[in-house]
Chain A
Amino acid sequence: MAVGIVGYGAYIPLHRIKVEEIAKVWGADAPSYKRGLMLQEKSVPAPDQDVITMSVEAARKALKRSGINPVDIGNIYIGSESHPYAVKPSGTVVAEAIGATPDIHCADFEFACKAGSESMFVSYGLVKAGLVKYGLGIGADTSQGAPGDALEYSASAGAAAFLFGEENLLATVDHTCSYTTDTPDFWRREYQFYPRHGGRFTGEPAYFKHVMGAGTKLLELSGLKPSDFQWAVFHQPNGKFPMKVGKKLGFTEEQMTQGWLVPKLGNTYSGASPLGLTAILDVAKPGDKIFMCSYGSGAGSDGFVFTAQDKLTEVQGAATQTWDQLNKARYLEYGAYAKFRGKINKLEEN
């Protein structure tokens, strides 16, 4: 029996900050950042938003589109590098909030920016193995970039949730693969607030090697050509990388633009390619083939081939769509942004 996506949902915070606003504070050249990284602005979580609240928002939309009873969900895995707690899962809070407890498997996933796609793969796998009726995989992050670092222009927030099952499929999962090596291009040790990265090492030997590795393997496994797909989405740490790697694999801008959210959204880390996938599912037509490839530092890439099913068109409008969320924005100045992100803190009076 085919296994696939039975529900999906996206959540993007309302607040944004523009590249110019960050560059102004650090005396940096905004046009060169905008050109070099192909970024315009990024989402910013409000002070009361975190991976848990955003995951709840995205999961509720996925439930709405699926129409299933949450008690039938057999697992919840949230992939993130910004879980609010170092010890204590995010998933239990989300499971409770959506009414999926107590008969549910739960653990938090971490694999830099690909923890979300890994949670999707495991959820899909459990359904396919017949161990759970429905599996919920979420990718969510409120990623941090150190003040003034190149990452500060891209590190943003968002969440995407996917319910996997065997009936009433919105899209089938046709093929999956993964490509993993020990490549330390980006990391954050315990007790450190901001991640560190290997500069240009994060490019060719890290992102491009792994996305090309998984992407090429996925094309081979599926026996499909890039032109057989209507849509393609890649991990998007900045605007440039996904377009470059996609074209290198043989995809066109037309196939990639719908899921290329990063110029306005920034890099949502574990949420990045999953959120791009939600934007594609919002418009895909039955029969459309979708190519997805994530990337996580450390490093690895997960690949998926989906085929949109008839039922998809019935539920596309059942919850707020991804681009509609992206187009609704409230802009922050750097001061408020610094407060929202905990870069400055109010003195606690004794």
Chain B
Amino acid sequence: MRDVAVIGVGINKWGELWEHSLRNIFVDAALKAIDDAGVDHVDSMYVGCMTSGLFVGQEHLSSLFTDYMGLNPIPATRVESACASGGVAFRSAIMEVASGMSDVVLAGGVEKMNDLDGGGVTFALATASDQEYEAYNGITFPGLYALMARAHMEKYGTTREQLAHVAVKNHANGVLNPDAQFPMKITVDTVLNSVEVADPLRLMDCSPVTDGAAALIVCPLDMASKFSKATPVRVAASTMGTDTIALHSRSDLTFLNSTATAAEKAYAMAGVGPRDIDVTEVHDCFTIAEICVTEALGYFEKGQGGAAAEAGATARDGEFPVNPSGGLKSKGHPVGATGVAQVVEIVKQLRGDAGERQIKGVKRGLTQNMGGTGGSSVVHILEAV
């Protein structure tokens, strides 16, 4: 297996991109990544996208995107693992380069969600849950994460305010990200006074509906200087874990086994532990998710994620800076693009290119991207070279 490096990143301004189509959102981000890397060719491409068929009626993204990028006839593959599709696309590209099959591979993620109304989006996202045992009985993702939140509160005494602190912190970070969909400061009261969605979760506990794309270029680490003038970032670990698709099948609703499994493997692969991670991007689709993820990653003891968020341990100047990009909450959550965008942020942080939100002295970063309520999780560890 060859060591793999990220040599190019591309992302566009996320939001309600009414004037843009699925294809031009993706192509824009992908071309930015190619420009950033400075490569003159791409050998292969992976696209992470959860459900463009339901969102805009378009499948067959491999051909669509290679066509509109002028990359035909290279091989291209669309991968899907619900909201973890982007992370899986990156992992697929890494494996193709590590195996020696290809040298320069593009990993992109995209989702165009706003062409549907609220009901349509909710239905499309709910296809990531267990259709027979969850969705058909009427529950959707806000309801499932509300159950996780309620269980966490009952079991560990996590408070409503602690959940709010996650959103407040992520919005404070998002203010510094020019690509974020909702770069506005909020307070704990903003969260507590927002509309109730599924008790105990309120509107400001939930990530938004977003159109957006992100892309990465990877190549063998020892060939990085041959292909690109950009500072390479080494992929130290790429892992994935799975768990029951239905939340009710788990013995503990508050613990994300798929994340914990992927994290353990990643730490072993990179030869590091949680305390060696300087900056992290996690899948905060709901505020409770970030709390559960930071526990599953081993940053905090089980049940302590809420208190840690409230104490500022996950702020940019905290012990474990989490989601300096603004996270899904403020930056936005175009589901298929999220996992790729997390890597974009970590690469920028490791290169020292993160602008006002740059965390000083970071050498190693981690991304955690999750499908459903944790039915799948992808973890990557990246290191400055």
Contact = CB atoms under 8 A, between A and B. Distances in A.
B208 to A, nearest CB: 11
B196 A29 contact: yes
Contacts, number: 14
Contact of B117 (A29, A32, A198, A205): A198
A193 interface: no
Interface in A193-211: 198-201, 204-205
Contacts of A29: 195-196
Interface string A221-233: 0000000000000
Interface residues of A, number: 8
B114 A201 contact: yes
A32 B195 contact: yes
Contacts of B196: 29
Interface string A24-67: 00000100100000000000000000000000000000000000
A204 B117 contact: no
Interface in A176-202: 198-201
Most buried by B among A29, A199, A204, A205: A199
A200 B195 contact: no
B117 A199 contact: yes
B36 interface: no
A30 to B, nearest CB: 11
Interface in B322-342: none
A32 B202 CA distance: 12
B64 to A, nearest CB: 23
B365 to A, nearest CB: 34
A145 B203 CA distance: 25
Interface in B2-26: 16, 18-19
Contacts of B19: 205
Interface string B186-220: 00000000011000000000000000000000000
A186 to B, nearest CB: 12
Name the prevailing secondary structure of the B interface residues: loop
Interface residues of B, number: 8
A205 B195 CA distance: 25
B29 to A, nearest CB: 21
Contacts of B117: 198-199
B157 interface: no
Interface in B32-62: none
A297 to B, nearest CB: 15
B18 A201 contact: yes
B138 to A, nearest CB: 16
Nearest to B116: A199
A201 B19 CA distance: 11
Nearest to A183: B18
Contacts of B100: none
B118 A199 contact: yes
Contacts of A199: 117-118
A52 B66 CA distance: 58
Contacts of B118: 199
B124 to A, nearest CB: 14
A204 B18 CA distance: 8
A204 B195 contact: no
Nearest to A201: B18
A48 B354 CA distance: 65
A126 B114 CA distance: 43
A258 to B, nearest CB: 31
Nearest to B196: A29
B42 to A, nearest CB: 33
Contacts of A198: 117
A198 B120 CA distance: 11
A335 B196 CA distance: 27
Nearest to A203: B16
Contacts of A201: 18, 114
B368 to A, nearest CB: 30
Interface in B88-136: 114, 117-118
Nearest to A198: B117
Contacts of A200: 16, 114
Contacts of B16: 200, 204
**7 closest pairs, A vs B, by CB?**
A205-B18, A199-B117, A32-B195, A29-B195, A199-B118, A200-B16, A204-B18
14 contacts: A29-B195, A29-B196, A32-B195, A198-B117, A199-B117, A199-B118, A200-B16, A200-B114, A201-B18, A201-B114, A204-B16, A204-B18, A205-B18, A205-B19
Given A201-B114, A204-B18, A205-B19, 4 more contacts: A29-B196, A198-B117, A200-B16, A205-B18
